[in-house]
Structure 1
Amino acid sequence: APPLQATTLSSASTSGYHMAGTEVTVNFFSGGSETVSWIATDSMTGIASGTNWSMSQSNNTFSGPWIFNYSGLDSVASLMINVIPGNTTFDTISGREVTPGSGNGRLFTLVSGQGPDSFNYSVPIDISSGDLFGTLSMSWNQGFTGMMSFIADTDSGTMDDPVTPVEPTPVPEPTSVLGLLAVSAFGAASTWKRKHQQDN
C-alpha cells in the first residue's frame, strides 16, 4: 500500500541496526563496482560486506562512527551509501533542528584514516528543509585502501510513512515533444499562409 502521507521521522535514535536494506556501492579504479545490501547483526549494529571490503556502524549515528575497511589490490575510487532502502535519511545540519522531527544533525566528519578528497549528499527527502538526503557519496583522487572511520548522522522513517525521496520533475517524452513541435510548425505555417494571402 502507498504511504499514508509524506515521510514521518521516528523519534528514536538511529543505529546501524535500524538501517537494514541500505545499499552500499563501491567503485574501483579498474572500472568495476560492487553493491551490497546492509544487514543488522545485533541490536545496535549493521554491516554491508563485499569482496575485500566492509562498511559497518554501531550505536547512535550522531556519535557512533561508521567504519569502512578495504584490503583488496585494486584501490577504491569512490563509494556511495544509499540509505533510502533502509528507511533512513542522512541529517546534515548541526546545532539546530531544521526539518521538524529531525533533531540535531551532523555533516560527514572524518574520525580517522584516509578521508575522501570530496564528499556529496544528494537525493533530498520529500519533507526536507535542506538538511535531509538519501545518499552520501565519497571519492578519492588517488584511490583508497585501508581503514576509515567517520561520523554521518541519520534519522529513521516510520513503518507507516517510510523515508521517501522528492518526486523528480517529469520530463516530456520525446514523442510528446515532437508532437508539440509539429503542432507549433503547423500553426506557424498556417499563420504565414493567411498573412501571405492577405498581402496578395
Structure 2
Amino acid sequence: MSQNLSEKINDVLADRQLSISAITRELKDKGFVEHRLVLTGYLRALRDLKKLQEIEVPPSKVYRRLEHHEKCTDIYSMVGDQIKNLDMEVRLPLAIYIISRLFKRPVFREELLHLGINNKSVANCLESSACMITLSRDENLKLYRSEITRISIPVNDPAYEIKAEDGQMVSMANIILMETIKDLVDLSGLTPKTKQTKLVEM
C-alpha cells in the first residue's frame, strides 16, 4: 500500500475520529477509491503500528490519528491495546483499576473512550448486579476535571471507581503494566535470547 494512502488517511482524520465507512466515503470524495476490505486491513495495520487508535463504537469501530508524541506517551492507547482482547466484564474494571491507581483519582468517562471502551459498555455494566465498578461520588471531581490538561474532559463528565479490588485484578494489572513498560523501553541486550519457562532456583 502506497505512502500516498497513509497521507490521505491522515488528512481525512485530522482533528476527528471516523468509522471505516466514513473514511471510505471521504477518500472517495478526494478521488481515492479503495475496496473496503483492503482499507479495513490497512487501518488495522496502522493501528498495530501505533499510528492510529481504534475505538469500539458498536456496531462499528472508529479510528483517530495518534500524533508522534502520542505514540510514545499516550498511556490510554498503550493500556487499551493491552486489554482490548479481554471480555468486557474483565476489561472495564481492569481499565478503571489501572488508570485510577496510576493517576490516584477516579476515571472519567472520556478517559474510558480513549481506552477503547464505549459508553454503552459502561451503562450495561452499571445495570448488572455483578458489576465491579461504581459511579464516583468523590467531592474533588470538579477539581480533577480542571487539572487534567492532556485531554479534554467535558463539564459534568461522570467518573468511575472500583467497588473492591481482589488478588486476581491486582495480578492482571501487574501483567498489563509490565507489558506496557516493555512496549515503552528498549530491552535489547538485557534479556536472554533463549526463552526460559521459569527462573532458575538459587
For normalisation by structure 1, the TM-score amounts to 0.22
Q: Hey, which of these two has a bigger chunk of strand by percent?
A: 1
**Bigger CA radius of gyration:** 1
Higher relative contact order (CA 8 A, sep 6+): 1
For normalisation by structure 2, the TM-score amounts to 0.21
Q: Hey, which of these two has a bigger chunk of helix by percent?
A: 2
